[in-house]
């Protein structure tokens, strides 16, 4: 697959700088985003309803990126489902780690996690096709195989044939699909409270998800709904990740199909190393039930963190980095 990049490389082994002022590309030039869909398209793909809505989202996205360590490289990769935006953090020689964001989320959601995760390995973050971010969906996603196809095509285009995959929420679901259908791409998968993967969604989660998409809903209500997912923590404009997701809820229309939950028989066939971290206070699913199902994966390391909510990546970034490092150290 063709690949283009914007090189921002620090010397090898030099820590990446974190600054609120840095910015890869200007919003005015729109160079983060790869030909975004603005206005309802004829195809069944995700889109921003209006230019004003996209502009609001672009500002929130750029502000979110400014809160991250500075990427060493910004890349655009072609896939059969549309162009994918990816960012490389660090330049270590060990097997790289690829981050897969949750629903309505993108690279800025990893602000708390990147400093710890990039300590001893290169980290890539990919904005998912079909979600609000800098990638653009150009073809309908129908099956789990479609989801796996765009991701593995993107990994191939990045020159990443075997990586550790770490996914939050629906990103965890996607990582498991790779383990099921294209395991050669995954040295391991780490799952942070994966949605609709090991247990069905709760009625609370369904209600919150549907409510967040109602047109005309005041932003304060969208923040309140985000807070429900995040264990009741108040969320407002002062939190870049929350501002970005709230903007996505308001301004982006998704065309994602409902993710298909793997069967126990499918999970039992997985041979990839798996670490599943489930949130004891998650409203997404019953954590105990999800853990029981996750343990049907041969050799899986399954943990329930009682104090964590579905926003576990932001609540326990240092603990996640340490636990991932321990886990990955034992993967050949």
Largest CA distance in the chain: 51
The percentage of residues in the chain with a pLDDT greater than 70, rounded to a whole number, is: 79
pLDDT in tens, 253-308: 999 898 999 999 999 999 999 999 999 999 899 999 999 999 999 999 999 999 99
Residue 64 is predicted with a pLDDT of: 92
Structure tokens at 24: 């890869």
Arithmetic mean of pLDDT over the chain: 85
Rounded distance between C-alpha atoms, residue 99 and residue 15, angstroms: 19
User: DSSP state, 331?
Assistant: -
Closest CA to 150 of 111, 181, 195: 181
pLDDT at 220 over 80: no
Q: What is the pTM of this model?
A: 0.86
Residue 169 is predicted with a pLDDT of: 94
pLDDT in tens, 76-111: 999 999 999 999 999 988 899 999 999 889 999 999
* Contact assessment for residue 77 and residue 86, using Cβ atoms and an 8 Å cutoff: yes
Rounded distance between C-alpha atoms, residue 71 and residue 256, angstroms: 28
* Helix or strand (DSSP H, E) at 157: helix 144-157
pLDDT in tens, 173-217: 999 999 999 999 999 999 999 999 999 987 666 556 554 555 555
Count of CB atoms within 10 A of residue 305's CB? 21
The domains located in the chain, with CATH, are: 3-7+20-329 (3.40.50.1820)
CA 211, chain centre distance (Å): 22
pLDDT in tens, 33-60: 999 999 999 999 999 999 999 999 999 9
Decide the pairing of beta strands 163-168 and 123-126. Answer: unpaired
């Amino acid at each position: 697959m063709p690949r283009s990049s914007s090189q921002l490389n620090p010397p090898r082994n030099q820590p990446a700088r974190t600054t609120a002022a840095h910015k890869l590309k200007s919003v005015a030039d729109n160079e983060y985003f790869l030909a975004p869909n603005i206005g309802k398209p004829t195809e069944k793909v995700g889109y921003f309803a209006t230019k004003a809505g996209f502009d609001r989202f672009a500002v929130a996205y750029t502000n979110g990126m400014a809160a991250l360590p500075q990427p060493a490289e910004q890349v655009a990769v072609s896939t059969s489902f549309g162009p994918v935006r990816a960012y490389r953090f660090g330049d270590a020689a060990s097997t790289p780690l690829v981050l897969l964001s949750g629903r309505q989320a993108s690279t800025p959601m990893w602000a708390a996690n990147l400093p710890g995760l990039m300590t001893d390995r290169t980290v890539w973050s990919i904005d998912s096709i079909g979600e609000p971010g800098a990638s653009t969906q150009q073809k309908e996603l129908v099956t789990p195989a479609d989801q796996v196809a765009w991701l593995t095509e993107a990994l191939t285009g990045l020159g990443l044939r075997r990586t550790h995959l770490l996914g939050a929420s629906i990103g965890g679901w996607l990582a498991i699909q790779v383990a099921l259908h294209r395991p050669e791409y995954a040295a391991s998968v780490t799952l942070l409270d994966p949605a609709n993967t090991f247990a069905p969604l709760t009625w609370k989660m369904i209600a919150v998800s549907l409510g967040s998409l109602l047109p005309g809903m005041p932003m304060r209500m969208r923040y309140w709904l985000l807070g429900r997912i995040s264990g009741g923590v108040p969320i407002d404009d002062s939190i870049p990740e929350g501002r970005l997701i709230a903007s996505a809820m308001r301004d982006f229309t998704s065309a994602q199909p409902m993710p298909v939950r793997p069967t126990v028989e499918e999970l039992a066939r997985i041979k990839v190393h798996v670490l599943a971290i489930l949130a004891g206070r998650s409203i997404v699913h019953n954590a105990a039930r999800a853990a029981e199902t996750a343990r049907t994966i041969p050799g899986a390391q399954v943990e329930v963190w009682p104090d964590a909510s579905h926003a576990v990546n932001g609540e326990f970034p240092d603990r996640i980095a340490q636990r991932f490092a321990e886990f990955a150290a034992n993967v050949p």
